[in-house]
């Protein structure tokens, strides 16, 4: 079967990988000149299924209100007259109830844990390296209130059978020794020993090289202008380099999927949520984290990637450009400096902004649409790297007509109909 994969971010490339392994003829189309040049380029790097949680959570309405008034809040909203943004906002608020949160979280956890198993199998099979670490992720808790909040969360982790350990400050330093030199006080942390981290761009580039070597065609520098349909089925794709057609079409277009599918009558509830990262060359490796630390206080994730150190975070709703004013990197750099003061070369920062393709409830949209031959792999929000391999495996199973490895209840577009 010929399959056209639209988009060469981590989601499109992992999809192409599994499709090629299944023996399909695969063509990947992207406007950029290489894989992972948009949101998959410089994310925080955590592959953290234990942390897979919807942003629409109990208590978030109150927190969001306080953040709206704060200067350097982790979440900023720029409201504009836009019906899709307003619909998204209302849906997000509805999903903050304890009941909706529990359902959404269990859906994200189902996919994320499956995805980590798929990533580990892929790594063992291909030998792919991407500055990965496999020693867990530490959620750092700076205040007693943060310890209390996480203590109640550990009951959920225990019930789900997820390995975790709540530690005091000395325990946190035993896990990440460089924290002994932190300039900010902290109370402890939650260690998630089975989670991982790694450079999503490096992974995507190397997997694309492998898929190309095994027969996938990559058509870079090609803008997808229109998805064409007749009698309820896709007939082809109009691009800047000509008309393309296939037996199946997988949409992995990140934040742009909603705009391209709207003319087909498909309303995807995806909004861009902008975030930022700062990457530094390591200056003193012994003063840097060994793996990944998520600072609960600032919501900044700090990850070691080979001889680099990356800090990422912040969320801005209502903006759709990656051109970011320099002040947006201030809070992230400050968190990094407070926790790992001498670790990186702060004089040589690489600053990056990306747009998370976010659904209001949290889980992505996988699989079938009402349009024949058209499949979705979009809307992974702030967890796309963690969910990529599992989502792609599901898509390949659906194309092959095999039952997917997980139940897709709550992970498809049908939940919005
Ligand atoms: C600051 C930040 C930190 C993050 N940290 C983490 C983390 O620690 N862990 C985690 O799991 N996730 C994280 N994420 C989320 C993760 O990066 C995303 O979920 C993931 O990269 C989305 O991948 P994608 O392939 O869907 O989108 P993209 O990587 O954006 O790929 C979409 C592709 O479609 C192409 N495209 C779009 N429109 C067109 C068109 N019209 N024609 C041709 N091509 C087109 C684009 O060029 C692009 O290459 C983070 C995100 C941000 C912003």
pLDDT tens digits, 3-37: 999 999 999 999 999 999 999 999 999 999 999 99
Return the pLDDT at 243: 98
Helix (H) / strand (E) element for 33: namely none
Q: How far is CA 95 from CA 29, 54, 176, 359, 415, in A?
A: 34, 9, 35, 11, 13
Residues 180-191 have pLDDT tens digits of 999 999 999 999
Which of 5, 17, 38 to probe ligand 1 with, by most ligand atoms within 8 A of CB? 38
Q: Give the pLDDT mean for 189-203.
A: 97
**Alpha carbon of 162 to ligand 1 centroid (Å):** 27
Q: Which residues line ligand 1 (CB under 6 A)?
A: 7-12, 30-32, 36-40, 43-46, 223-224, 252-254, 256, 260, 275-277, 301, 312, 354, 356-357, 380-386
Domain annotation for the chain: domains and CATH numbers: 2-40+202-270+362-416 (3.50.50.60), 54-96+131-196+271-358 (3.30.9.10)
Which of 4, 31, 39 to probe ligand 1 with, by most ligand atoms within 8 A of CB? 39
| Residue nearest (by alpha carbon) to ligand 1 atom 1 | 275
Which of 14, 43, 242, 391 to probe ligand 1 with, by most ligand atoms within 8 A of CB? 43
Written as six digits, the tokens of 312 are: 């990422």
3-state secondary structure of 226: strand
Q: Give the pLDDT mean for 44-49.
A: 96
Q: Please, where are the H alpha helices in 26-97?
A: 60-69, 83-94
Return the pLDDT at 112: 97
Return the pLDDT at 338: 97
Return the pLDDT at 417: 84
Reply yes or no on whether the pLDDT at 293 is more than 80. Answer: yes
Return the pLDDT at 265: 96
- The 10 Å Cβ neighbour count of residue 232 is 11
Q: Which atom of ligand 1 is nearest to the CA of 301?
A: 8
Reply yes or no on whether the pLDDT at 69 is more than 90. Answer: no
Reply yes or no on whether the pLDDT at 179 is more than 80. Answer: yes
**Alpha carbon of 9 to ligand 1 centroid (Å):** 6
Quickly tell me which residue has 């892929």 as its tokens.
122
Lowest mean pLDDT among 29-43, 57-71, 273-287, 318-332: 57-71
Q: Please give the mean pLDDT across all residues of the chain.
A: 95
- Are the C-beta atoms of 316 and 386 separated by less than 8 Å? no
Written as six digits, the tokens of 196 are: 């991982």
**Alpha carbon of 114 to ligand 1 centroid (Å):** 20
CA distance 55 to 319: 18
| Residue nearest (by alpha carbon) to ligand 1 atom 18 | 384
Reply yes or no on whether the pLDDT at 101 is more than 70. Answer: yes
| Residue nearest (by alpha carbon) to ligand 1 atom 9 | 46
Written as six digits, the tokens of 88 are: 């998204």
Reply yes or no on whether the pLDDT at 63 is more than 90. Answer: no
CA distance 305 to 205: 15
| Residue nearest (by alpha carbon) to ligand 1 atom 3 | 43
Q: What is the pTM of this model?
A: 0.96
Return the pLDDT at 154: 86
- The 10 Å Cβ neighbour count of residue 294 is 24
Return the pLDDT at 70: 67
């Amino acid at each position: 079967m010929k399959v056209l994969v639209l988009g060469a971010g981590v989601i499109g490339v992992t999809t192409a990988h599994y499709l090629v392994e299944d023996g399909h003829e695969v063509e990947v189309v992207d406007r950029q000149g290489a894989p992972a040049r948009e949101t998959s380029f410089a994310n925080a790097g955590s592959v953290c299924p234990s942390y897979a949680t919807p942003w629409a959570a109990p208590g978030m309405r109150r927190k969001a209100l306080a953040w709206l008034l704060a200067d350097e809040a982790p979440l900023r909203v720029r409201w504009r007259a836009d019906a899709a943004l307003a619909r998204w906002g209302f849906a997000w608020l509805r999903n903050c109830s304890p009941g909706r949160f529990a359902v959404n979280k269990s859906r994200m956890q189902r996919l994320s844990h499956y995805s980590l198993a798929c990533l580990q199998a892929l790594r063992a099979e291909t030998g792919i390296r991407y500055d990965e670490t496999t020693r867990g992720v530490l959620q750092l808790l700076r205040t007693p209130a943060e310890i209390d909040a996480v203590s109640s969360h550990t009951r959920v982790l225990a019930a789900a059978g997820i390995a975790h350990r709540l530690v005091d400050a000395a325990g946190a330093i035993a896990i990440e020794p460089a924290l002994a030199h932190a300039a900010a006080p902290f109370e402890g942390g939650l260690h998630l020993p089975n989670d991982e981290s790694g450079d999503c761009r490096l992974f995507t580039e190397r997997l694309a090289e492998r898929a190309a070597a095994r027969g996938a065609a990559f058509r870079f520098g090609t803008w997808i202008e229109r998805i064409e349909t007749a009698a309820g089925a896709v007939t082809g794709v109009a691009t800047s380099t000509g008309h393309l057609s296939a037996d199946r079409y997988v949409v992995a277009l990140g934040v742009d999927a909603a705009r391209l599918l709207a003319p087909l009558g498909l309303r995807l509830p995806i909004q861009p949520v902008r975030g930022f990262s700062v990457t530094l060359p390591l200056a003193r490796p012994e003063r840097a984290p060994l793996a990944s630390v998520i600072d609960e206080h600032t919501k900044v994730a700090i990850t070691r990637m080979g001889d680099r150190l990356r800090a990422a975070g912040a969320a801005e709703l209502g903006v759709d450009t990656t051109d970011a004013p320099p002040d947006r990197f201030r809070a992230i750099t400050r968190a990094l400096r407070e926790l790992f003061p001498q670790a990186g070369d702060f004089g040589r920062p690489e600053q990056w902004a990306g747009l998370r393709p976010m659904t209001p409830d949290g889980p992505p949209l996988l699989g079938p649409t009402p349009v024949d031959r058209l499949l979705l792999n979009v809307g992974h929000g702030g967890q796309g790297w963690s969910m990529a391999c599992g989502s792609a495996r599901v898509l390949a199973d659906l194309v092959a007509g095999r039952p997917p490895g997980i139940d897709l209840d709550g992970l498809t577009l049908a939940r919005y109909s």
